[in-house]
């Protein structure tokens, strides 16, 4: 689906990859609805829209609030008349600790935002999207959704749930006007850790040099290009491409390699 003149909703549009998705869509003359729980950061995104500001509408929304999402659909249609696509980008990571030490409160927060927030968006907007001549749902999973990372097991589980949710949805919607894509970003230079209210364990100098993060603007370009090509899977970054292949060929070996490289996340 070409995004020009379409109305696209982006969750987590206040910062990081979400902000760049908003700006990239605007640059292609899409009408954009950006939502975020952080009003200040969402205002910053709006300020960066420049001469495309008239194409952007923002809402302060907590995606874990089902009633708020249902009202959002009504407000979005009132603003633009219709919505042609949603990009479920909002997400957080967990504290860098093992499952055995992770409190249920943290587990529920990660699952509520990453999985249920995405599910609420889909369940609310899908009936409307099915009425459009063409429409698209893009769900952001993660390289962590197919590859275990020590200290991020629940985050990975939430993103694996998004992966299977998206793939199942794709199969259910074959033959309809709604296309579905799942996105697997690798290391992208965003502020997800800060937005999750966490501190990152110190990274060894050798590992820091070895891991090259992708700029959010480049990640956004890859995602929107994939959306416009109606790709089933959109893999973002060379690291994600490599690990996707490695996991297919040798899943245990891939998990072992990541465990060794990322062991600094769980000191001691």
Q: What is the pLDDT of residues 141-157, one digit of tens each?
A: 999 999 999 999 999 99
Q: Is 181 helix (H, G, I), strand (E, B) or coil?
A: strand
Q: What is the pLDDT of residues 61-108, one digit of tens each?
A: 999 999 999 999 999 999 999 999 999 999 999 999 999 999 999 999
What pLDDT band is residue 221 in, cutting at 50, 70 and 90? Answer: very high
Domain residue spans of the chain: 7-265
Active site residue 155: yes
**Does pLDDT of 213 surpass 90?**
no
Identified catalytic residue from 82, 155, 232, 264: 155
Question: What are the residues facing 139 on neighbouring strands?
Answer: 88, 182
Cα 96 from chain centroid (whole Å): 20
Distance CA 131, CA 73 (A): 14
Question: For 31-49, what is the mean pLDDT?
Answer: 97
Mean pLDDT of the chain: 92
**Does pLDDT of 21 surpass 80?**
yes
Distance CA 245, CA 230 (A): 21
**Does pLDDT of 172 surpass 60?**
yes
Tokens 């495309």 correspond to: 52
**Range from 141-155, 210-224, 245-259 carrying the lowest mean pLDDT:** 210-224
Tokens 């991020």 correspond to: 152
List of residues 6+ apart from 30 with CB closer than 8 A: 3, 4, 5, 6, 7, 8, 55
CATH of domain 7-265: 3.40.50.720
Instruction: Determine the pLDDT at residue 194.
Output: 57
Would you give the DSSP letter of residue 38? -
């Amino acid at each position: 689906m070409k995004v020009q003149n379409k109305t696209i909703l982006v969750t987590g549009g206040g910062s990081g990859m979400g902000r760049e998705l908003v700006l990239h869509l605007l640059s292609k003359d899409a009408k954009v609805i950006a939502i975020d729980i952080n009003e200040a950061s969402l205002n910053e995104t709006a300020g960066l829209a420049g001469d495309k500001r008239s194409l952007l509408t923002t809402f302060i929304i907590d995606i874990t609030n089902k009633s708020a999402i249902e009202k959002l659909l009504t407000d979005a249609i009132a603003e633009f008349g219709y919505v042609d696509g949603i990009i479920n980008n909002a997400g957080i990571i967990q504290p860098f600790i093992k499952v055995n030490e992770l409190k249920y409160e943290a587990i529920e927060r990660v699952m509520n935002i990453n999985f249920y927030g995405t599910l609420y968006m889909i369940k609310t907007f899908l009936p409307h999207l099915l009425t459009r001549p063409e429409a698209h749902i893009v769900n952001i999973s993660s390289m962590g959704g197919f590859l275990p990372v020590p200290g991020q097991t629940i985050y990975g589980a939430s993103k694996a749930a998004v992966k299977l949710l998206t793939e199942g949805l794709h199969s259910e919607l074959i033959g309809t006007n709604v296309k579905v894509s799942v996105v697997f970003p690798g290391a992208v230079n965003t502020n997800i850790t800060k937005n999750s209210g966490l501190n990152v364990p110190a990274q060894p100098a050798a590992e820091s040099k070895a891991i090259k993060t992708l700029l959010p603007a480049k990640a956004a370009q890859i995602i929107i290009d994939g959306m416009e090509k109606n790709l089933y899977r959109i893999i973002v970054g060379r690291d994600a491409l490599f690990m996707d292949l490695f996991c297919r060929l040798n899943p245990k070996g891939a998990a072992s390699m990541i465990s060794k490289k990322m062991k600094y996340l769980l000191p001691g």
